[in-house]
Structures are given as structure tokens and as C-alpha cells.
Amino acid sequence: MGIFHMKVLQPGSPAALWFGFKADEFAVGSYLWVQGNNVYVPFIASERPGEGNVTRLFKSINDRGFTVIVPIPFPKMEEILRHLGFEQGLDYSFEHQEHVEVWIRDPQEGVVPTEPDELLAGFVSHPRSPWVRTRHGYSMIGSQEQMKQLMGEVLGTNGSQRRST
């Protein structure tokens, strides 16, 4: 399985609850995705803003040994991320064929990612994050060409199917 295999989580699903992503705390349409030991937060909206739902979610994700990554946050979310100690970086988006802004917070040193056996089995499979800290923030491991080559290997030669391992 390649590092690009992912699982989308909606609030209240069994895997989402394991991370603390509760349906009564986050609005319909909110979602996360898990890719390796990273949890991406492309869109979440708290049902009760200002009550700490987002802070608790991010802490829960980090406490389980996962890196939290928030791509292209809205200005209000960016304020929250700065306050919570996230660092700004860039990620190459294959979909948009350009670099996009991301905000990242790693788990505490020494915390190893854990996996709920039946809930995320197979989705948390690589031994380390594909993110590396650079003097300009964070970046995916490898050059843009290496990442395109890896993505081609994961998707297969025609780019439309995942390669089975």
C-alpha cells in the first residue's frame, strides 16, 4: 500500500469517534482524511464555536501519535492554528498542480501512532510521516519529480487505478 492510500472520515463514524470526531460537536459536511500517520483536516465546522471542540479534536489526534495537517485554512482557523502551535508550510497538490499552504502540528516526541484494529486497519501502514521539517516549514519527502513518480506507481500507469500490494 502506498502512502497516498487514504480513508475519509465523517463525524460520528466508528473510526472518526476513535479520533474524537463527534457528530454532535461538528457540523454536517465536516470531514477528515487519514493518510499514513497524518490526519488531514480540509474542512470542519464546530456546532458550538468557541467551546473547544476543535482544540480537543486536534489534541486527541496528536495524543494518538498522528500529525494534524490543515490545508488552506480560512482566516479564523489560521488564528486558531497559530494559537495552538501549528507551523505553516507548503504541500504539492497533484490535483491543482501547484504548491498549497498547509498548517502542521506533530504529536509530542516519542508518541508512536496507534491504530484501532478494525477501524483503520491497513490505512496507517507506513512507518513514518512523509513530511519533513525544513527551514521554510514542512515539505513532503522527495522532490516534485520523485513525488510524481511515486504517485504514478501508486496509481498505476494509466493514473486511474491504485496499484495493489
Q: How many structural domains compose the chain?
A: 1
Q: Looking at the domain assignment, is residue 165 inside a domain?
A: no
**Structural contact between residues 111 and 13, judged by C-beta atoms closer than 8 angstroms:** no
pLDDT in tens, 34-75: 887 889 999 999 999 999 999 999 999 999 989 999 999 999
Q: Looking at the domain assignment, is residue 30 inside a domain?
A: yes
Q: How confident is the model at residue 134 (pLDDT cuts 50, 70, 90)?
A: very low
Model pLDDT, residue 11 = 94
Q: Looking at the domain assignment, is residue 21 inside a domain?
A: yes
Domain that holds residue 79: 7-155
Q: Looking at the domain assignment, is residue 161 inside a domain?
A: no
Q: Looking at the domain assignment, is residue 128 inside a domain?
A: yes
Which triple of cell numbers denotes residue 87? 507551523
Q: How many CB atoms lie within 10 A of CB 155?
A: 16
Give the global pTM: 0.69
Q: Looking at the domain assignment, is residue 37 inside a domain?
A: yes
Q: Looking at the domain assignment, is residue 45 inside a domain?
A: yes
Model pLDDT, residue 5 = 56
- Mean per-residue pLDDT over the chain, rounded: 75
